[in-house]
Chain A
Amino acid sequence: MSHDSHHAPVACKTELAPERSDLGLYRPDRATGWTDWLTTVDHKKIGILYGAFAMLYFLIGGVEALAIRTQLARPDNDFVTARMYNQLFTMHGTTMIFLGVMPLSAAFFNFLVPLQVGARDVAFPRLNAFSLWTFVFGAFVLNASWLFEFGHLAGWFDSFAWHKALVYTDFAPANGWFSYAPLSGTFGANGQALRFTGVGTDFWIIGIQVLGIASLAASFNFICTIINMRAKGMTMMRLPVFTWMALVTSVLIILAFPAITVALIELMFDRAFGANFFNPSAGGQPVLWQHLFWIFGHPEVYILVLPAMGIVSEVLPTFSGKSLFGYPIIVFSGAVIGFLGFAVWSHHMFTTGLGPVPTAAFSLLTMAIAVPTGVKIFNWLGTIWGGRIRFTPPMVLALGFIWMFMCGGFSGVMHSSAPADSQQQDSYFVIAHFHYVLLGGVLLGLMAGLYFWFPKIFGRMPNAPVAYLGSALVILGFNLAFGPMHYLGLAGQPRRTHTYHAGNGWETWNYVATIGAYILGIGVVIVFGNLVWTAFRGKKCGSDPWDGRTLEWSLPSPVPEYNFAQAPVVATRDAFFEHKHGAKKIGLENDGGEAGVHMPSQSWMPMVASAGFLFIGFGMPMMAMGIPHAGWLVISGLGVLFLGIWLWALEGPGGYMLKTPAPSGAPAPAETVAH
């Protein structure tokens, strides 16, 4: 190991003399600017990058949504073609779920989990960087399909021979975010692999596969961090609720993603190599795709919503001036939701004809999962009950979350009844339901989190009046857009249909929904724009502007790269709040803080390894498209991936010492507390 070559402690990493890794290459430890961001292993910088990419994709997904709503504003509209419409709604759903909400949750996990458990970084800093860049490249591959689509529309490909061989020419994914077989699969006997859809589906398959790898790697890392890197005295039942929800979410990811990974492999084999997993002509069962997809897909819903629940569970106590009502029950409910989340997948498939016994069982379990969710809502109400409420921007958004999520929960319980669900299946009622859960619930929760922790991340306060305006527009526009869809769905309007004829009685509410969508769009731009402005120009603030409760608020804003100058020792839940206002509950571990803090070395290798996915991501669809020699691109991608991981292992963890400036990074008095 290379740890005997440490340099003398310095206060700032740019003062370091360059250090060679075990490979003999210089580590980019002293880097600043671009190189620093590209090679960083700091969980805070990785979190910021995750957040920035997530916000970018939220805007792209939002533009897709507005194009959909513009098309539907009027009956028999021709703003986009049916073919384009299919691609828009598919990419809208895929983008929002995999490139918007999940990475934004990952941004919070990255930034907060080590701070909340009292650690200096995650368990595997370079693996964390690998997750980030794998996500970035996977997202790029998925969206690059749009570039091919635009190229096709512009006629750039018309002169290529292989282009004429394509019967179906959708270049961006066009199957819906669930890509049901056989539409996404193949037909024909003996490996003919005739397709219903174009190369967009292949981009979707490989894109989701790569994003899954990113999520899995990140989740292994977070579970390890939460279980193994807690500060002294930070027992599991003293963990902040957000960290608890990060743990449950990560467990869900590592157990649910393998199902979609396998399903994607099978579909890829069908399309690229003529296998018959979902090929009806050869006896393949398309309904198997539905099962595999929803065994992943339903836990995925909780993967999306649990982080937002965790955020709300931090925001509400802070601005009510009370501790969280029923902490153990909230934690237990979160775990039960995660557990039951694996037992309700077939409620997405009531109309496939499962038979009365499975249908009844899945109905029952779906109703049961509403119980822990309801328990959480009542606990949040109990938290604000009798509290001294401060209506700050995060609090407004968190209260909005409770209301909107509750509405989505009510229509969700309606779906759990199989006979009612048969009527609502594939109608706009379902669209209304899951947008209330995912937008009214998750997005409002995540926005609350952004406004809550931005002062910690950047040391600057968001502009409150602009935040109120943005929040109000988001909540108003959202209800205008999706409220009427309950009615439209029950009145029979089908989803995923590019237009509708006049005279069905759907015109008015579709028009209203479109107006609502534009108001929502303006609101989101204001909310995000305010945040971007805050990051660069906001008014500077102290380390604890909200009177926070958990460990991260005990650190300076922005947080120094080593987080804790000395490791904290906590003696209670909400230790920082108690420490400020009552008995001293945070001590400092004497771990030789004077000698300096050991920092992990930065590295290019995680990004090099994940760049392999870029080759694979473009190679696989081209191979399935029948472009000659495209398979070599895939093989070279695997080579790059292997090379990156190999050099990563050989370069060694490295590391350098930073001298901490006095105990300023630590909570006031340095005394040990009995616990």
Chain B
Amino acid sequence: MSGMSKIVKTISSITFPFVTIYGLYVIAHGHLTPGGGFQGGAVVASGCAMILVAYGSVWTMGKIKEKHLSVLESFGAIGFIGLAFLGLIFGTMFFKNFLVGNDFLFGEIGKGLSNISTAGALPLMNFAVGLKVIAGLFGIVLVMAYTTKAKGGKIE
């Protein structure tokens, strides 16, 4: 596909920042409200897929390659596993929540009052998994749309 009409492009350009902000909000408040890394990442990836549908896969592939997305996804995975190993180093075991209980970062105990500085390593893991899900889902959609694009009206 080679992009849709000007109306669709304009409307999706206007809507895209709001979708992204909402997805990042869902990721950042994953330990307080319904949602988390997976759901927020799916929201952001849906916004990127909207841009992909509106502008066409060739234009989008010119803006961002799937190599960059795979690097982003690898960073998410390394961050997630690295946080788990930090639990092994600073705490007692793998996936130990080592940040909770001290005064450093996100260290307070949640009491149902929507305090965002709670829950230890969980918000950091939410960010890592959110980055991973954004890059993974959008990369899958981008690669499938680019390699199956129509040439001259018929599926190649």
Decide whether A and B assemble into one complex.
Answer: no
